[in-house]
C-alpha cells in the first residue's frame, strides 16, 4: 500500500492543472463563465490572461490541511473509487509498525464473517524451503498515474528461501522467487499453502527481482500484541474438500459442497466460477460420484435375511432326511458274529449278540449335525450383514453435551453420533426455530479442522453427512455449537476414531 503525504497530494493536484487537457477545460470553463456573467464572448488573449491569473491564485492559496486514509476490503472483480466504498467492507487500522525500512506491518480489522483465510505455518521457514508468492502487483509508485480502469492480473512466483538477514533491526528471510513492485504486503506460502511470511521489500528492477519477507513468528507476535487470536475457520477446509471431490470427478458431491459455500460466504471470489465449471462437467456426463450406500440398505437387508432363511431351511431339511435314512437302514437287535479267537478267553463256538443301533447312527448323523451348525452360523452372518447395511456399519455412538429440553436453548443438545467409515449420522433434539445448531468436525490429536458438517435452524434430528477426506483417518471429534441470543456456545466434542 502506498500512502501519500500532504505534500505529495498538493504536488499531484498542481501538476494535474498543467496537463494540456486540464488547461483546455479551464479555458472553456472561463469562457462560459464570462459569457454567462457579462454577456460577451472573450477573446483568446483575454482568456489567456484570466487563465494565468487563476492558476497563479490556485498555486498561492491552495493547501492540503489533512489526509484521511480509509481502508476497504473487496473481493472478486473490484472497481476502485465509489464502487469499492459501496460494495466493500470498511476496515479499521488497529496496530502498525514503522514504515520501511522497518517492518512496515499493520493489522486491519473488518466486520465480516465466513471469509476465505490462509493458515499460519507453525514455525519459521528454513533455508532451501519452498517459498511461493501470490499477489496482484500494480506497480505502486507515486510518480505513476493511477489507471483506475486497468485490470491487475494475479502473479504467482515460486522459489526457495536462500538467506536470513537482520540489517534493519528485524529478521528478514530472502527468497529467489521473483517479486514485483506492489507485491509488498502479500503472503509467502510454503509447500502446504500455509503462510510463512509477509513480503516486505525487494531488490531488483521494475521487471522483478529477489524479495525479503517478514516471518510468520513476527506476524503471530504482532497479532498477539494487538489482542488478535488467529483461529482457522471452516470455509477454507470445506473449499479444499470440495475441490478434492472435483479432482476425483465426484462432481455431484462437489456441486453440493460449492453451493453450501456460496450460501454461507459472500466473500468467496471464485466459487461462482467453480460452480459453473462443475455444472458443465455434470452436463457433459463426466461425473463419477459413487451411489450412496443408503439406497441399497433395504434391498441388502431383505436379501441377506432371505439368504439366511434359505440356508437355515436347507440345513434343517438335510438334517431331517439324514435322520430318517438312519432309522430305516439300521434295525434294533441285529446279531453280529465274531470270528473265532483262539488266543482270547472266548471259545471257538462263542458268539456275541450286540445291538448295532448306536454306532452306525452316530457316524451317519455327525456330518448333518455339522451342516446344521454351519447353516445356523451362516444365517446369523447373513442377517448381521443385512443389519450392517441398514444401520450404516459398526457404530461408534456417543453423546455430546448434557441433557436439555427442546424448550430450553441454554442447555446443551443431546446428540448421539454414529460414525461409519466416511459417513456420520447424528440423532439430536429440536430447538426453537430461532436457534441455529451447527456441527463442527475437529481433530483431537492435531490442529483443528473446523469443518462445518451441517447446519440447521431449530432441528438436527437424524442427519447424515459425509466426512471430509481429511477426517477418514486418525482421531477426531464432533462438536455441536448453537446460538443463544447473541452468544455462541460450543461444548466439548464427542471423540471418535476414523
Average pLDDT over residues 257-273: 84
Question: Could you tell me the pLDDT band of residue 399, with boundaries at 50, 70 and 90?
Answer: very low
Model pTM score: 0.51
- The residues, any chain, with a CB within 8 Å of residue 51's CB and separated by 6 or more, are 23, 26, 27, 30
The region of weakest confidence among 99-103, 113-117, 227-231, 459-463 is 459-463
* pLDDT value of residue 402: 33
For residues 98 and 96, give the distance between their C-alpha atoms in angstroms, rounded to a whole number. Answer: 7
- 62 confidence band (pLDDT: 50, 70, 90): confident
- Identify the H or E element spanning 454: strand 451-457
Could you tell me the pLDDT band of residue 277, with boundaries at 50, 70 and 90? very high
Highest mean pLDDT among 273-277, 298-302, 417-421, 490-494: 273-277
Highest mean pLDDT among 169-173, 234-238, 385-389, 460-464: 169-173
The per-residue pLDDT for range 24-55, each reduced to its tens digit, is 888 899 899 888 888 888 898 988 998 888 88
Would you give the DSSP letter of residue 337? P
142 versus 77: which is more confidently predicted? Answer: 77
Query: How large is the average pLDDT for residues 177-190?
Result: 86
pLDDT at 195: 93
Q: At 494, is the pLDDT very low, low, confident or very high (cuts 50, 70, 90)? A: low
Q: 377, 364 in Cβ contact below 8 A?
A: no
Closest CA to 254 of 236, 274, 268: 274
pLDDT (0 to 100) of residue 475: 67
Q: What is the pLDDT of residue 299?
A: 63
Question: Which residues, 6 or more positions from 160, have their beta carbon under 8 angstroms from its beta carbon?
Answer: 128, 129, 130, 131, 175, 176, 177
Q: Which of 12-21, 378-387, 486-495 is the least confident region?
A: 486-495
Give the per-residue pLDDT at 374. 65
pLDDT tens-digit map of 141-157: 555 555 555 666 778 88
Predicted pLDDT of residue 187: 92
Q: Which of 153, 192, 199 is nearest to 178 (CA)?
A: 199
The pLDDT assigned to 58 comes to 86
Three cell numbers at 462?
A: 437424524
Amino acid at each position: 500500500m502506498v500512502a501519500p503525504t500532504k505534500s505529495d497530494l498538493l504536488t499531484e493536484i498542481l501538476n494535474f492543472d498543467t496537463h494540456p487537457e486540464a488547461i483546455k477545460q479551464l479555458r472553456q470553463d472561463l469562457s462560459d463563465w464570462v459569457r454567462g456573467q457579462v454577456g460577451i464572448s472573450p477573446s483568446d488573449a483575454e482568456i489567456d490572461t484570466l487563465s494565468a491569473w487563476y492558476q497563479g491564485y490556485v498555486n498561492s492559496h491552495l493547501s492540503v490541511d489533512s489526509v484521511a486514509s480509509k481502508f476497504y476490503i473487496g473481493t472478486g472483480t473490484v472497481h476502485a473509487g465509489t464502487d469499492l466504498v459501496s460494495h466493500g467492507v470498511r476496515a479499521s487500522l488497529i496496530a502498525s509498525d514503522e514504515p520501511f525500512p522497518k517492518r512496515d506491518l499493520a493489522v486491519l480489522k473488518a466486520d465480516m464473517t465466513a471469509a476465505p483465510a490462509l493458515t499460519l505455518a507453525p514455525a519459521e521457514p528454513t533455508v532451501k524451503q519452498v517459498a511461493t508468492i501470490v499477489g496482484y502487483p500494480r506497480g505502486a509508485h507515486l510518480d505513476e498515474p493511477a489507471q483506475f480502469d486497468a485490470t491487475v492480473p494475479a502473479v504467482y512466483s515460486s522459489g526457495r528461501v536462500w538467506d536470513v538477514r537482520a540489517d534493519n533491526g528485524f529478521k528478514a528471510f530472502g527468497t529467489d522467487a521473483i517479486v514485483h513492485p506492489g507485491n509488498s504486503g502479500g503472503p509467502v506460502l510454503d509447500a502446504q499453502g500455509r503462510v510463512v511470511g509477509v513480503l516486505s521489500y525487494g531488490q531488483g528492477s521494475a521487471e522483478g527481482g529477489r524479495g525479503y519477507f517478514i516471518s510468520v513468528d513476527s506476524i503471530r507476535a504482532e497479532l498477539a500484541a494487538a489482542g488478535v487470536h488467529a483461529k482457522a475457520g471452516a470455509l477454507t477446509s470445506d473449499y479444499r474438500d470440495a475441490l478434492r471431490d472435483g479432482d476425483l470427478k465426484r462432481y455431484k458431491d462437489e456441486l453440493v459442497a460449492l453451493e453450501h459455500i456460496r450460501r454461507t460466504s459472500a466473500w468467496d471470489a471464485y466459487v461462482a466460477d467453480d460452480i459453473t465449471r462443475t455444472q458443465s462437467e455434470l452436463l457433459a456426463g463426466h461425473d463419477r460420484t459413487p451411489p450412496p450406500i443408503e439406497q441399497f440398505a433395504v434391498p441388502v437387508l431383505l436379501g441377506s435375511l432371505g439368504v439366511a432363511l434359505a440356508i437355515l431351511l436347507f440345513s434343517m431339511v438335510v438334517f431331517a432326511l439324514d435322520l430318517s435314512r438312519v432309522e430305516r437302514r439300521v434295525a434294533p437287535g441285529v446279531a453280529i458274529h465274531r470270528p473265532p479267537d483262539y488266543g482270547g478267553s472266548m471259545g471257538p463256538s462263542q458268539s456275541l449278540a450286540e445291538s448295532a443301533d448306536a454306532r452306525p447312527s452316530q457316524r451317519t448323523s455327525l456330518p448333518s449335525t455339522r451342516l446344521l451348525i454351519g447353516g445356523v452360523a451362516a444365517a446369523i452372518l447373513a442377517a448381521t450383514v443385512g443389519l450392517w447395511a441398514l444401520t450404516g456399519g459398526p457404530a461408534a455412538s456417543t453423546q455430546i453435551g448434557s441433557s436439555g429440553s427442546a424448550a430450553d436453548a441454554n442447555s446443551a443438545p443431546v446428540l448421539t453420533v454414529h460414525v461409519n467409515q466416511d459417513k456420520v449420522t447424528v440423532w439430536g433434539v429440536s430447538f426453537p426455530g430461532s436457534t441455529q445448531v451447527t456441527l463442527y468436525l475437529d481433530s483431537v490429536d492435531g490442529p483443528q479442522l473446523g469443518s462445518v458438517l451441517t447446519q440447521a435452524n431449530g432441528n438436527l434430528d437424524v442427519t447424515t453427512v459425509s466426512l471430509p477426506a481429511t477426517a477418514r483417518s486418525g482421531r477426531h471429534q464432533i462438536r455441536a455449537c448453537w446460538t443463544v441470543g447473541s452468544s455462541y456456545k460450543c461444548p466439548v466434542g464427542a471423540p471418535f476414531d476414523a
